[in-house]
């Protein structure tokens, strides 16, 4: 029989995996991996502000991540620096600022390693409820935004011509990223959140004929990574968050192996423009 803490960890991990896979497809298609890292690093600033001002942790992380997204959009419009330079500035400065604020709060005992690399084995029933509620809400909104997001990913001008409001869709996508980062922080940690978005989606790309199929398969890959990582963590007493990422890496490496010829041909036919 599995221990209660392991069952809770599995439920929490699967809740994150279900939404991380489809959302991660857009991160891969839009080449937004560095943007994901920036938002993830900013979540430590959200943690620090939550502890300093006694705010709800998930709410504070979401608000900070969303604010960083809006700040990035405003700075991009000024065109003073390239996007990658802006992302580098925001990513490292928010992470450093969060660490500095935490270091000043000598009256608070905080396990930084749990925030940086996850502490999925310590999730509670309340955490599971928040993860699944946030995940299902994100999936519903992603389904609603699917057409404008996909169209703007292929061609921003085409999406505008069809009246799909690509800029509004991009803003909503950034807010969905903030939600996922907030709910995934306890599962894989601030430093590894982006990997759970990118690696399963990258592994699924090889075997997908259509964008929709890739989104579903990415969710399955993420769920397999969570299950395999937790099992490996239990067997070999390794850190759970990094173990999940290593399991995802294993799936990605398997996707690179020689497979029947129809698999790569199917991928090219369905997602070659993404």
The residue-averaged pLDDT of 32-39 equals 91
Q: For residues 70-96, b (16+ Cβ closer than 10 Å) or e, as one string?
A: eebeebeeeeeeeeeebbeebbeebbe
The residue-averaged pLDDT of 171-185 equals 92
Supply the CATH number for residue 257's domain.
1.10.3470.10
Q: What is the dihedral of CA 233, 238, 244, 248, to 10 degrees?
A: -100
In angstroms, what CA-CA distances link 28 with 21, 82, 199?
10, 20, 9
The residue-averaged pLDDT of 146-169 equals 86
The upper half-sphere exposure of residue 237, i.e. CA atoms within 13 Å in the direction of its Cβ, equals: 0
- 8 A C-beta contact, residue 68 and residue 38: yes
Q: How many CB atoms lie within 10 A of CB 199?
A: 27
Q: Quick one: pLDDT at residue 44?
A: 92
Mean of the per-residue pLDDT values for the chain? 89
Residue 204 CA to residue 225 CA, distance in Å, equals 12
**Please, what sign has the CA dihedral across residues 9, 11, 15, 18?**
positive
Token pair 């419009």 is found at: 77
Give the distance from CA 97 to its chain's centroid: 22
Residue 193 CA to residue 144 CA, distance in Å, equals 24
Q: Quick one: pLDDT at residue 265?
A: 46
Q: List the single range of 56-70, 141-155, 184-198, 259-273 with lowest mean pLDDT.
A: 259-273
- 8 A C-beta contact, residue 87 and residue 34: yes
Is the pLDDT assigned to residue 268 strictly greater than 70? no
| pLDDT per position as a tens digit, 105-137 | 887 777 888 888 888 888 999 999 999 999 999
For residue 189, give the DSSP letter: -
- 8 A C-beta contact, residue 193 and residue 36: yes
The residue-averaged pLDDT of 90-111 equals 89
Q: State how many domains the chain has.
A: 1
pLDDT: which is higher, 267 or 41: 41
The residue-averaged pLDDT of 74-88 equals 85
In angstroms, what CA-CA distances link 90 with 1, 38, 60, 79, 203?
46, 6, 17, 15, 29
At 2 the three-state DSSP class reads: coil
Q: Give the range of the structural domain holding residue 56, as residue numbers without chain letter.
A: 4-271
Residue 55 CA to residue 46 CA, distance in Å, equals 10
pTM of the model: 0.91
Confidence of residue 269 (pLDDT cuts 50, 70, 90): very low
Ramachandran category for residue 108: left, alpha or beta (phi over 0 → left; psi -120 to 50 → alpha):
beta
Confidence of residue 264 (pLDDT cuts 50, 70, 90): low
Token pair 């991380």 is found at: 20
Is the pLDDT assigned to residue 266 strictly greater than 50? no
């Amino acid at each position: 029989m599995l221990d209660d803490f392991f069952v809770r960890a599995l439920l929490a991990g699967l809740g994150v995996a279900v939404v991380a896979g489809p959302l991660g497809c857009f991160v891969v298609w839009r080449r937004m991996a560095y943007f994901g890292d920036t938002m993830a690093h900013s979540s430590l600033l959200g943690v620090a502000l939550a502890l300093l001002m006694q705010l709800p942790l998930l709410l504070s992380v979401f608000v900070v991540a969303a604010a960083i997204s809006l700040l990035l959009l405003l700075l991009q419009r000024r065109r003073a620096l390239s996007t990658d330079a802006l992302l580098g500035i925001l990513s490292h400065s928010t992470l450093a600022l969060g660490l500095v604020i935490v270091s000043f709060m000598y009256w608070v005992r905080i396990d930084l390693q749990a925030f940086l690399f996850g502490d999925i084995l310590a999730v509670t029933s309340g955490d599971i409820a928040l993860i699944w509620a946030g995940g299902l809400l994100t999936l519903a909104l992603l389904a609603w935004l699917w057409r404008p997001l996909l169209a703007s990913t292929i061609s921003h001008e085409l999406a505008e011509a069809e009246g799909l409001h690509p800029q509004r869709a991009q803003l909503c996508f950034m807010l969905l990223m903030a939600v996922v980062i907030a709910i995934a922080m306890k599962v894989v940690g601030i430093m590894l959140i982006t990997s759970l978005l990118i690696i399963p989606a990258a592994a699924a790309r090889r075997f997908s004929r259509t964008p929709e199929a890739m989104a579903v398969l990415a969710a399955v890959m993420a769920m397999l990574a969570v299950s395999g990582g937790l099992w490996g963590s239990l067997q070999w007493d390794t850190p759970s968050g990094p173990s999940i990422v290593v399991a995802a890496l294993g799936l990605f490496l398997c996707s690179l192996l020689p497979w029947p010829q129809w698999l790569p041909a199917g991928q090219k036919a369905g997602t070659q423009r993404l």
